[in-house]
Structure 1
Amino acid sequence: METYNNIGIQRRLRRFFRRDGRALIFAMDHGFEHGPTDFEETWEHIDPNLILKKVIKAGIDGVMTLPGIARIAGKQFYGKDVGLMIKLTSKTELRPKEDHFLQSPLGFVEDVIKLGADAVAATVYWGSPYEDIMMKQFAEIASIAHDYGYPVVQFSYPRGPYINERYGKKEDYRVVMYGARAAAEMGADMIKTYWTGSKETFKKVVEAASGVPVLLSGGAKTDNPVDFLKLVWDVMEAGGSGAVVGRNIFQRKDPEPMIRAILRVIHRNEDPEEAAKAEGLV
């Protein structure tokens, strides 16, 4: 018989993966992690109420954000069938360069519960000089969240000077695969990580996660929407469970057609060019 907290974890996960085990999640932590300059192209989206209203209207499966944004724009979620994920670690670009490989706590699991959210997220920079600190943070968050029946998402990001020296880049499939495996072995219920450059190598990342859903970290905005849709298509072809997307959504003047096109690729297996054409992106 299932335990109470495991039932809670599975029910909350289905608020993101409610249709077919796949999900498109909107990322809204860039104002903290990168700074408000990320919104310069589409300045009106600096207002979380405005951009969240648009993405929820477009049919997004879930939203990932920080506690304060969920508080400021909480009314956008009232009565809406959309999952809410709260990230409890972060960093700013203002800190000294030598500390950029560390994410710090900015909230507590109890805050996630108070906000009525559905999942907890935290980052681990695998290979960082501060790896042990973030491992401890994640372990503590996961232990408490699981006790309360909340799924835990790890943003599994290989970063650090050792990785650059040995592998050349953080997106090398061997280190992304290693990070995904480490996240699964730490007890993550969902993993967000880098694209590795090909379907073949990303498939290895998915296999290393051993059944824990792996989602693409969306990254920088592409000039051509079809290029990003093709990337999402390759992720799904490799066995991925979806994508967590920020800049490729909020840095577009009208984000709703892009969201609907990504949803077509993720949930309907539509060809990227056909999805783009259907939503008027080309």
Structure 2
Amino acid sequence: MDIEKILKEEAGFLLEHKCTTFPKEKLHIPGSDFVDRIFALSDRSPRVLGNLQHIFNHGRLRGSGYVSILPVDQGVEHSAGASFAPNPDYFDPENIVKLAMEGGCNAVASTLGVLGSVSRKYAHKIPFLVKLNHNELLSYPNTFDQVYFAQVEQAWNMGAIAVGATIYFGSPQSDRQIQETSKVFKRAHELGMATVLWCYLRNDAFKIERDYSVSADLTGQANHLGVTLEADIIKQKQPTNNGGYLALDNFGKTSDLVYSKLTTDHPIDLTRYQVANCYMGRAGLINSGGASGEDDFAAAARTAVVNKRAGGMGLISGRKAFQRHMKEGIELLHMIQDIYLDKNITIA
């Protein structure tokens, strides 16, 4: 793989960058011993440790400490038509699991219905991550809220080894979502399951001259709240700007040092601030791949390089992979994984 050719004019900007905000020596960097080195020191039970290790030991990235996860809950979040019309094969849940397996993923993340419909055939062949809550957008007018469609016990009974949830931090409903998810993650850990939290920001007030719901300072704080709930892995959008706290009047508290010392405008430094808020990497940061577009391969490669060099744990990429023919989706997933396997792409 010629990563410089894929990154084009940004190759030097991304591959040669040196991070001076948080030195890499201060980070808990992914590696083959991550469970023993980091999670084994925590209050996680042996069963949780075993299931985390099972995720790390699966797929093309097994043994590296990095993860590549295929998430397909878009049938609820964005309607089945909007999600699967580009490739109707994925109306059939079995093809979602096949894509994750043939794509060499560490796990497949989807709804209770999708994974439950094929669990007896596949739950022992690839780690299942059941996404328990969703933003239901059939009601009119639309509201932005995460409600639980499934229970932890249902995921456990089908053989899943992890559960996932979303909290819309900053939304009017976030207090309720935090309380619900705290109980859900506690129960999941009691049953020995790993936990993954989608730490997204949702509030129209965050969108002023730019969209501060993807600012490094606000997403970083969302990450910090996520690991406070004992999420083992944090899913977050990669930051595209900074200064959300500064742009909003009378909102929260921050420090000038966040902007003068702990971040710069470079995407790797902005993402490293997200990693730092994941307890300096004790909880893994996986960035989302984003919507499908004209140049998905280049966009996914850029996101993966930034995540890896920032000290993140991997990528969770869905629409870029499943909204195309399976062969191309597999190629895209393999390209992402090859970046994490490439020893020449180092922590900045």
Question: Normalization by structure 2: what TM-score?
Answer: 0.73
* The one of 116, 121, 124 aligned to 2:159: 116
Structure 1 segments unaligned to the other structure (5+ residues): 272-282
Greater C-alpha radius of gyration: 2
Residue equivalent to 1:65: 110
1:48 aligns with 2:93: yes
**SS of residue in 2 equivalent to 1:170:** helix
Residue equivalent to 2:333: 259
Residue equivalent to 1:199: 268
* Cα offsets for 1:39-67 (capped at 9, x unmatched): 11112222121232133023111100111
* Cα offsets for 1:224-250 (capped at 9, x unmatched): 212211221111111110011110110
* The one of 74, 90, 94 aligned to 2:134: 90
- The aligned amino acid for 2:165 is A
Aligned length: 269
Identity %: 22
- The aligned amino acid for 1:41 is P
Q: How far apart are 1:35 and its partner, in Å?
A: 0.7
Kept in 2, the 8 Å contact 1:127–1:162? The answer is no
Kept in 2, the 8 Å contact 1:52–1:76? The answer is no
Kept in 2, the 8 Å contact 1:87–1:122? The answer is yes
* The one of 297, 317, 332 aligned to 1:245: 317
Residue equivalent to 1:31: 75
Q: How far apart are 1:2 and its partner, in Å?
A: 8.4
Q: How is 1:167-182 mapped onto 2 (pairs within 5 angstroms)?
A: 168-182=211-225
**SS of residue in 1 equivalent to 2:200:** strand
Q: How far apart, CA to CA, are the structure 2 residues paired with 1:269 and 1:128?
A: 40
Residue equivalent to 1:17: 56
Residue equivalent to 2:277: 208
**SS of residue in 2 equivalent to 1:25:** strand
Q: How far apart, CA to CA, are the structure 2 residues paired with 1:4 and 1:205?
A: 23
Higher mean C-alpha deviation, range 137-146 or range 69-78:
69-78
- The aligned amino acid for 2:271 is F
Structure 2 segments unaligned to the other structure (5+ residues): 1-39, 58-62, 241-266
Residue equivalent to 1:278: none
* The one of 148, 158, 161 aligned to 1:105: 148
Q: How far apart, CA to CA, are the structure 2 residues paired with 1:5 and 1:207?
A: 21
**SS of residue in 1 equivalent to 2:168:** strand
Q: 1:77 to 1:160 in 2, by over 3 A?
A: same
Q: 1:2 to 1:226 in 2, by over 3 A?
A: closer
Q: How far apart, CA to CA, are the structure 2 residues paired with 1:23 and 1:46?
A: 25
RMSD of aligned Cα (Å): 2.1
Q: 1:207 to 1:57 in 2, by over 3 A?
A: same
Q: How far apart are 1:222 and its partner, in Å?
A: 3.3
1:217 aligns with 2:260: no
- The aligned amino acid for 1:258 is L
* The one of 218, 224, 228 aligned to 1:185: 228
Q: How far apart are 1:4 and its partner, in Å?
A: 9.9
Q: How far apart, CA to CA, are the structure 1 residues paired with 2:287 and 2:45?
A: 25
Q: How far apart are 1:99 and its partner, in Å?
A: 2.2
Kept in 2, the 8 Å contact 1:5–1:150? The answer is no
Residue equivalent to 2:189: 146
Q: How far apart are 1:98 and its partner, in Å?
A: 5.7
